[in-house]
Amino acid sequence: MTDKVGRSGQSRRGFVNWILSTGVGGLLLAVLYPVGRYLVPPAAGESTASTVTLNLKPEDVAPNTGQIFKFGSQPAILVRTPGGELRAFSASCTHLSCIVQYREDIGHIWCACHNGHFDLNGRNIQGPPPRALDEFAVNVRGDEIVVSRVS
């Protein structure tokens, strides 16, 4: 009788210890997994709200062309002037927020919605846009193009 109680007591003790060790292990995992994932640098590297590295090589951008890229959650336009300089502006037209495009035939940044024209300094030169496009700073770092907000 006492032997039986002793044995069931022992097995219960073993069970409780098993629960405890499993639980502690599980808890450690549940804490360490998020922490580990947290510390791994995210794909974007750093906040794209003020700086973005384009998925483009500088030599792949021909003179007198422009292209739209994502700056944070907003569209922006990268232009290489006929003179070979890289410039970037917000691509949201200052009139009604349509996305602007580069017109190779006239060398303007152009909004198709209401025929707004901007020159290659982003200045509104024709049509309804009331303000110039916000300009971003463009830097070439090795074979990367880095666009950042001018503060």
DSSP-derived pairing of the beta strands 86-90 and 135-141: antiparallel
Q: Please give the backbone phi and psi of residue 43, each rounded to the nearest 5 degrees, phi first.
A: -55, -40
Round to whole Å and give the CA distance between 112 and 135. 20
Does 106 participate in binding another protein (rule CB under 8 A)? Answer: no
Among 1, 3, 42, 59, binds another protein (CB under 8 A): 42
Among 89, 92, 133, 136, binds another protein (CB under 8 A): 92
Between 86 and 98, CB nearer to another protein: 98
Instruction: Mention every residue, 6+ apart, whose C-beta is less than 8 A from residue 111.
Output: 93, 95, 98, 99, 100, 101, 117, 118, 127, 129
Does residue 38 bind another protein (CB under 8 A)?
Answer: yes
> Would you tell me which residues interact with another protein (CB under 8 A)?
12-13, 16, 19-20, 22-24, 26-27, 30, 34-35, 37-40, 42-44, 46-50, 70, 72-75, 92, 96-99, 112-115, 124, 127-128, 130-131, 151
